[in-house]
Amino acid sequence: MLKTIEKGPDFRPQASRALNGVTMIFDLGGFSKFFNQPDVHTYIPVYLNHVRRCVETALLGGEVYWLNKKKTGTPLEPKPVHRKFLGDGYLYIWTPPKGYNDFPTSFIRYLCNRLWNIQKHFDRVNGACSDDVPVYELPTTIRFGISKGTVFELSMEKTAKREYIGICINLASRLQKYCPGLNFLASARLGIPEKLLSEYGYIRTVATKIKGFPKEIVIADKKEFDALSEEVRADLFTEF
């Protein structure tokens, strides 16, 4: 028998002071089609666990098997302070290291590069679970949206559970689904210097149709952006 919902704890009367936050949201392209296959309920938890472990290997360290040369990655610092399942993906939130008001540029750079590598080699991520998830039509892509901005922590009475609110969470959600063909899209609010963007193959452009964020400067992979059709670029972006 399914358990019924019980009366939940209230949020404490006051949210935390404003904190700098980095937010990442990912979801899986083609998840609905995967979900609707016969008997797939047997494999959904296994597949979701597999993808989450992959992402958290990039964040927390472990064998990075999806690269051309396998290696053991080191943990990113700081570590996430919050993770939440969203149905076909996850939300992650970071706040600055203790004693600091902002994030090291190296953290932002490594975070973006590691997530970009996952979406670039997602076929290898899928291949690594073929024995445990014998389903032909797996989700085809993983899409990342990353942003930075003010977050507020909501703590709950009688429990250590926390939730977060903030505009950057909304923005990350909208970035990850904004443009078909771009599976990695970050806000320029991350503050990566132009020199580093160029060095790692990213460009800045202006997204013109993100709901609630008109003319948002965003970061995309240059080759993937250039591969978009002229119609898509003209419809969704303008030059920076």
pLDDT in tens, 15-39: 878 889 999 999 999 888 888 878 8
Instruction: With respect to residue 73, please indicate whether it lies within any of the assigned structural domains.
Output: yes
Q: What is the pLDDT of residues 63-72, one digit of tens each?
A: 999 998 777 8
Contacts by residues 80-86 (CB-CB < 8 Å, ≥ 24 positions apart): 82/162, 82/163, 82/164, 84/163, 86/25, 86/27
Query: Is pLDDT at 231 greater than 80 in this prediction?
Result: yes
What integer best gives the mean pLDDT of the chain?
92
Q: What is the pLDDT of residues 152-199, one digit of tens each?
A: 999 888 877 889 999 999 999 999 999 999 999 999 999 999 999 999
Instruction: With respect to residue 151, please indicate whether it lies within any of the assigned structural domains.
Output: yes
Considering the entire predicted model, what is its pTM?
Answer: 0.93
Instruction: With respect to residue 2, please indicate whether it lies within any of the assigned structural domains.
Output: no
Instruction: With respect to residue 8, please indicate whether it lies within any of the assigned structural domains.
Output: no
Query: Residue 2: pLDDT band by 50, 70, 90 thresholds?
Result: low
Instruction: With respect to residue 13, please indicate whether it lies within any of the assigned structural domains.
Output: no
**Count of structural domains within the chain:** 1
Q: Provide the residue range defining the domain that includes 193.
A: 19-238
